[in-house]
Each structure stands twice: as structure tokens, then as C-alpha cells.
Amino acid sequence: MKVGYVFTRTLSAVFLIIATNCKLLAGVIPDSNTTEPLALRKIMSDLGKNMQTITDGISREDWKLVKKAASQIADHPQPPFVESIQILSFVGSNVSLFKDHDNKTHNAAIALGKAATEKDGYKVITAFSILQNTCLTCHQNFRKSFQEHFYN
């Protein structure tokens, strides 16, 4: 009887721990059908701001500013580990396509930075347009399905 009681208490304690942990995890791991924005969205929004800085830099012929913003695009942060896993598992067999788009953006931003170092305005504008195309291509391929999957 006593052993049974201890056993039941232990069992309920274990369940409590599991339940609490699930609650904690639920806070950390965003559910795939939540309206909580992805960290990716903030990263993207910052890329957008960097692009605006670049157009401003071009207008002012401030090549240092262009170079700085281009390098921030090239080295943009990655989403946190758990979100990266969710993204990779969602893109599934398209993972190499997704990564390829990211690499193209990276390389185009590096090329833009080089043009800015050379202070060659026309080259900067051409490189900027190539960069914009890399953003657009990934958006056309992935934005809609990401939003359908990660937000309701």
C-alpha cells in the first residue's frame, strides 16, 4: 500500500515535470501553425533596410556606406538553431535550391562590396541590380509557401 502510494506520487511528479517541460518547450519551439513571426522575418526586414541604405549611399556616392551595408547583407545572421531545423525540414527536398538562393545573394553582395571599394558607381548600380534579382528569385520561389506553412 505504502509502496503503491510512493509509486503514484513519483509518477505524478514525473508527469508534472514532463508537462512543465512541454510548456517550456512550447515557448521555445514555435509551432508551425502559429502567427508568431519567424526570426527569419526580422533578418529579412534588416536585409530590406540595408538595401535602402545602399540606394541612399548610391545617391550620395557614399561608397563606404554602400560597402558597409553590402557586407551586412553578405554576412546576415542565421535564424536560431531550432528555427533553422524547422525551415530545413519544411523546404525538404528543395533544401539545395533554398541554400543556392542564399549563396547567390551572398555572392552578389560580395560583388557589390567590391564595386563599392573601386568607387565605380556604374558597376555598383549593376551589382546592386544583380543582388536585387537574387532576392526576388528566392521570394518568388519560397515566400508564399513559407507564409502558408508558418502562418495562418
# chain residues binding ligand HEC, by CB under 6 A = 23
Binder to ligand HEC among 72, 86, 98, 127 (CB under 6 A)? 98
Residue 101 touches ligand HEC, criterion: CB under 6 A? yes
Binder to ligand HEC among 16, 21, 139, 140 (CB under 6 A)? 139
Footprint (CB under 6 A) of ligand HEC, residues 23-82: 37-38, 40-41, 44-45, 47-48, 51, 73
> Which of 25, 19, 75 is CA-nearest to residue 46?
75
Mark residue 49 as left, alpha or beta (left: phi above 0; alpha: psi -120 to 50; beta: remaining).
Answer: alpha
Please identify, among the stretches 13-21, 53-61, 77-85, 132-140, the one whose residues bind ligand HEC according to the rule CB under 6 A: 132-140
